[in-house]
């Protein structure tokens, strides 16, 4: 089983990746570089988390860094503010799907946990899934924060995940919690979806872990 995991420097996506590696999956990781809306420490944390997973399972993780800051700028300039998180996640899944096709992977992995943050609702996840045809695995969907932190501490991921780094600065103050597909599709008609997928995929770079 080969999976493409959307990995950030936070706690959830590395734990989700750990759970799938525990099941024997080979992982290709994607880090979305949100600069200028975050700093370089996010990439440093992600790299350290991936190295920790590699050592634990004695298995290499092929990592890509994908430029995503321009996409965030386009959403901010052209689309409804409260739908930016859903639009962002739909774009990340599309890019993940393209890389999964290239890597001949079977599914995507994300770190969403139902209700963990305001935008991670059943309605939003449905709308996000609609953007792709590939299977999207969410190993943490029913976990609460305490359960996720427990696994992170047991696996040595926790201390890295809480290292300081600036969060995404473009997140709306009041993100939509019950996004409607027709509204999201209307927003996407304002932008060039194909170029916002193809350009980041074309400019993705390999991250060579130690």
Q: What are the C-alpha distances in Å from 182 to residues 16, 30, 139, 154?
A: 30, 28, 28, 42
CA 90 to chain centroid, in Å, comes to 10
Cα–Cα dist 126/130, whole Å: 6
Q: What are the C-alpha distances in Å from 140 to residues 6, 11, 15, 19, 191?
A: 13, 11, 8, 9, 32
Closest C-alpha to 101, from 198, 12, 24: 198
The pLDDT of residue 169 is 58
Q: What is the mean pLDDT of residues 165-191?
A: 88
Cα–Cα dist 203/125, whole Å: 27
The pLDDT of residue 209 is 62
How many distinct structural domains can be found in the chain?
Answer: 1
Confidence of residue 192 (pLDDT cuts 50, 70, 90): very high
- HSE of 104, CA atoms in CB hemisphere, 13 A: 0
Q: Give the model confidence (pLDDT) of 72-102 as tens digits.
A: 999 999 999 999 999 999 999 999 999 999 9
- Residue recorded with tokens 């473009």: 170
Query: Any idea what the CATH number is for the domain that residue 31 is in?
Result: 3.40.50.620
What is the pTM (predicted TM-score) of this model? 0.95
Q: Is the pLDDT of residue 117 over 80?
A: no
Q: Give the model confidence (pLDDT) of 8-49 as tens digits.
A: 989 999 999 999 999 999 999 999 998 877 778 889 999 999
Q: What are the C-alpha distances in Å from 6 to residues 53, 68, 81, 175?
A: 14, 13, 23, 21
Output the average pLDDT for the chain. 94
Closest C-alpha to 113, from 138, 91, 95: 138
Closest C-alpha to 191, from 73, 93, 92: 73
Find the radius of gyration of the CA atoms of the chain. 16
Cα–Cα dist 158/136, whole Å: 24
The pLDDT of residue 142 is 96
Q: Is the pLDDT of residue 2 over 60?
A: yes
Q: Is the pLDDT of residue 170 over 80?
A: no
Q: What percent of the chain has pLDDT over 70?
A: 98
Determine how many CB atoms are found less than 10 A away from the CB of residue 24: 9
Which residue range(s) make up the domain with 186?
A: 2-207
């Amino acid at each position: 089983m080969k999976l493409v995991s959307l990995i950030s420097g936070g706690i959830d996506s590395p734990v989700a990746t750990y759970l799938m590696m525990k099941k024997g999956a080979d992982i290709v990781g994607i880090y979305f570089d949100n600069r200028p809306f975050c700093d370089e420490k996010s990439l440093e944390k992600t790299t350290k988390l991936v190295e920790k997973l590699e050592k634990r399972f004695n298995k290499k993780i092929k990592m890509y860094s994908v430029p995503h800051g321009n996409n965030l700028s386009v959403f901010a300039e052209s689309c409804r503010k409260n739908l930016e998180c859903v639009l962002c996640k739909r774009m990340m899944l599309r890019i993940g799907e393209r890389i999964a096709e290239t890597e001949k992977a079977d599914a995507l992995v994300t770190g969403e946990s139902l209700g963990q943050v305001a935008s991670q609702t059943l309605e939003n996840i449905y709308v996000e899934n609609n953007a792709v045809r590939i299977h999207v695995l969410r190993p943490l969907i029913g976990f609460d924060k305490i359960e996720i932190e427990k696994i992170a501490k047991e696996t040595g991921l926790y201390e890295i995940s809480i290292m300081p780094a600036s969060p995404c600065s473009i997140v709306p103050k009041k993100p939509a919690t019950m996004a409607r597909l027709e509204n999201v599709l209307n927003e996407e008609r304002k932008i060039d979806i194909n170029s916002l997928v193809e350009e980041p995929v074309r400019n993705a770079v390999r991250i060579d872990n130690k």
